[in-house]
Structure 1
Amino acid sequence: MTDLAQADTAPPGAGLPGGVALAALRRAAPALMLYAGTRALGLVVLAGWGAVAGKSPHQLLTARWDSLWYSRIAEEGYGYTIHLADGSVHSNLAFFPLFPGLEHAVSAVTPLSAPDAGLAVSSVTSLFAAWGIFAVGDLVYGRRVGIALVVLWGVLPVGIVQSMAYSESLFTALAAWSVYAVLTRRWVWAGVLAALAGLTRPVGAAVVAAVWITAAVELLPGERWRRAFHTHRRVLAGVVLAPLGWLGYVVWVAARTDSLTGYFDVQNGWGNGFDGGLAFAAFVGGLLVHPPFIAGIALLLGVIALLWLYVACVRQRQPLPLLVYSGSVLVLALAAKGYFGSKPRLLIPAFPVLIPLAIALVRLRPARSALLLGSVGLASAAYGAWWLHGSGPP
């Protein structure tokens, strides 16, 4: 791994001189082109499937499930609520504001509608996410691992979400670059990007945790806490900035609802919350005790595989920011109540757990690695098309 005590300057492409940014982009170009190829394949398969099924791929990408809530916020602001027959209340206050805010901004200055602006934001930020993921992999394990890591992220079974008018791509871009900034000790950038991630999704708390815990370890030895204000002002600035996005929105919802627990009450109205994984365990158990059993077995194996990958990350001694970030994402996704079919989507930002697989891939012969990734990419594209043409949300 490269030296983690580099100067506190901006990450590549974020304020550095043009030549340096261009060199960083050139280094990442193979990863970005391969990633773009995976997304293009997914869209081609989706379009072909839609032609056969008589459904519009454009509508599937911009006007289903959460994308409808985002575009309504972009067009009308907050305040929309649905009261369901079972007594539950779905308020659009459950959705963090950065993604619909960008939808609104783009649609205001271009001819694009809010849904199309959301698709544009997701498409552009997915490339920044791929670049950030490459930067992390390249920094810690080298360029080949960085490229493999990006392609693996692109061919996830639910990778089609990266091409939808959803906030996952935006969040992953901000999270990846924030983690990169922590790794390279660019603390102010880490705090700013963590704050923006916290304005994007509730799981922004995982990015804050990566900044805070790494900063705590940075300041713990000896008497450094006493001298922190004088010698570690940038570290403290990052620590202070990191939670402002997430905390700011939660406080705003509390003021809007006249309740200190307003945001959490809104989430409860959606059936969401944190119960330590009890509801998810009960859901999996229910699938395991009723025929045909295959769904429960597949889901259980998937969870075991995720946990095994995280243990592999620990055994590889990944840098602390990666372990804290990915571990927090896993806990927040797997130990929460809510729509269990959404959990694969909620796990998309946990890209560091793919690093052991990326390392294994680069140890294969290039032809074998390419064949394997190509096959998985095709399967992912087919699965994504089948998924979006089904009835359940991603």
Structure 2
Amino acid sequence: MGLIGHQRAQGSPLGSTTVPTHPVDGGGRFGVAARVYGRAVWQVLPAWIVARLLVVATLAVAHGIVSSVRPGNAGAQLRVHQGLLVWDGGWYQSIAGHGYAGSGLQSVRFFPALPMAARVLGWVPGVGVGAGVVIIANLCSLAAMAALVVLVRHDLGDRELARRSAWLLALAPSAFSLVLGYADGPLLLCSIVTMMAARTRRWWWAVAAGLAGGLVRPLGILLVVPVLIEAWQSRRSAASATQWAARGAAVAAPVVGTGIYLAWVRAQFGDAWLPFRVQQQIGHRGAVAFPVTSMWHNLTSVVHGHHLGSASHIPWVVLSAALLVVAFRRLPLSYGAFAASVLLVSLTSSNLDSFERYALGAFPLVVAASTLTSRRAVEAGVLAVAATGMVGYAMLAFLGVAVP
């Protein structure tokens, strides 16, 4: 059934790594898959809509605040008038419209898949490249939420857990970035589809999704981790050279995707590592640092009254670490390993800005958190707090106070 095999029976252990891989017989397997995904889209649509209503309403309030309270603040005026193309969204719009050469050397830190897709969509009459960036980002977010529902149902056999995971993914405090013209939605979609394909042993689907992920964002290369684990765990079922080749291609695909962009950068600018060098400059992610050293630096800075904004990231690091433990205990190994790799890379920086957004890309943490909210009252409370946090973070981003 495309990416979908037969679902595990309800009530199976969450941590089980048994993967049903029997294909659906007959020529209608893609029709069945389409119906499954279609139902998932309808299921997640309310959460997707609610998140966008909250963020757009926050943007409207931010406009009012800037006009009445901060009319002389040029930075706030700029950010709020950028709307859903605020911060990184403006870079993607510029790249889509003018290319990397026309957007300046700083633009190379943004990978090409989203702006190039937006450029193509911009060919549609009445759709500019800026609108294209926002449309693609939001449609990918919707598709990612639906894919997460299908993945959780298939792997963990729990429809309620799938529903809770989708709602938490939509309303998590950093999920407002999924409404903006950011590449987080496209990468999230690539990540979930890659995981689903690897778990169901549809390796060529994993090749396609992994290759795309490597072209969407630098973190896309980390999709190597879950695919490698699943390929190793299924090694005894590879009976032919073709099957081994498919596994090898799936493992290599994220690296190849990233390598394609870096090779182009080298041809254009003479330095394949330029995107990472730019990203490590002061004002962006900063120099690479050992995670413990980075955390200690931020804590001591807060104690001495410096960089107080860093204090806001520490609780999220602690929460993410706790959820990582839950993921390793309750979910398949490839889930926990992927989440761990994302968190590790996110912490290897002297600047923890955007950590919350990067952690959201480690989608197994969302599933792990949702395993703890099986009681309706707990889920309602968590979603209310999460949505409030999302509105708050969105407001800070629109006012130019915090970097998403």
Question: Shorter chain as normaliser: what TM range?
Answer: 0.7 to 0.9
Q: Is the 8 A contact 1:191 1:211 kept in 2?
A: no
Q: Cα 1:204–1:288, aligned 2, differ >3 Å: closer, same or farther?
A: same
Q: C-alpha separation between the residues in 2 aligned to 1:193 and 1:30?
A: 23
What is the distance in 1 between the residues matched to 2:369 and 2:42? 21
In structure 2, C-alpha distance between the alignment counterparts of 1:116 and 1:72, rounded to whole Å:
12
Which letter does structure 2 place at the counterpart of 1:51?
A: G
Match of 1:341, SS? Answer: coil
Equivalence for 2:149:
134
Which residue pairs with 2:345 in the alignment?
332
Cα distance in 1, alignment partners of residues 271 and 378 from structure 2:
57
Secondary structure of the structure 1 residue equivalent to 2:234: helix
List aligned pairs for 1:1-394, cutoff 5 A: 2=8, 3-7=18-22, 17-54=30-67, 59-80=81-102, 91-141=106-156, 142-219=158-235, 229-259=241-271, 261-269=273-281, 272=286, 274-277=288-291, 280-291=294-305, 298-316=312-330, 318-337=331-350, 339-362=351-374, 364=375, 366=376, 369-394=379-404
Amino acid at match of 1:385: M
Aligned residues: 374
| TM-aligned CA deviation for residue 133 of structure 1 | 1.8
1:91-136 CA distance string (max 9 Å, x none): 2111110010011111112312221211111111110111122222
Structure 1 pair 73–100 and aligned structure 2 pair: CA distance change class (3 A): same
Deviations 1:363-389 (A, max 9, x none): x1x355335423432342243223321
CA distance in 1, matches of 2:279, 2:400: 26
Deviations 1:191-225 (A, max 9, x none): 11011011000000111222123213322x5xx78
- TM-score calculated relative to the size of structure 2: 0.82
> How far apart are the structure 1 equivalents of 2:381 and 2:79?
28
Cα gap change, 1:48 to 1:239, in 2 (>3 Å): same
- TM-fit CA distance, 1:253: 1.6
The 8 Å contact of residues 94 and 263 in structure 1, kept in 2 or not, is answered as yes
Counterparts of 1:348 and 1:8, CA distance in 2:
32
Return the TM-score normalized by structure 1. Answer: 0.84
SS in 2 for 1:109: coil
Moved more, 239-248 or 144-153: 239-248
Q: 1: distance between equivalents of 2:313 and 2:103?
A: 32
Between the aligned partners of 2:82 and 2:297, the Cα distance in structure 1 is 27
The amino acid across from 2:303 in the alignment is V
In structure 2, relative to structure 1, the CA distance for the partners of 1:187 and 1:230 (3 Å cut) is: closer
CA shift for structure 1 position 244: 1.8
Structure 1: how far apart are the matches of 2:147 and 2:80?
A: 27
**How large is the RMSD of aligned CA atoms in angstroms?**
2.9
Distance 1:285 1:120, change over 3 A: same
CA distance in 2, matches of 1:303, 1:62: 27
Would the alpha carbon gap of residues 56 and 263 (structure 1) be closer, same or farther in structure 2, given more than 3 Å must change? closer
Unaligned runs of 5+ in 1: 10-14, 83-89
Query: Could you say if the C-alpha distance between residues 60 and 134 of structure 1 is closer, same or farther in structure 2, counting changes exceeding 3 Å?
Result: farther
Asked if 2 retains the 8 angstrom alpha-carbon contact of 1:46 and 1:381, the reply is no
Structure 2 vs 1, CA of residues 273 and 252 (structure 1 numbering), >3 Å: closer, same or farther?
farther
Q: Contact conserved, 2:316 with 2:356, CA < 8 A, in 1? A: no
Aligned to 2:12: none
**Distance in 1, Cα, partners of 2:186 & 2:203:** 20
**Structure 1: distance between partners of 2:288 and 2:308:** 27
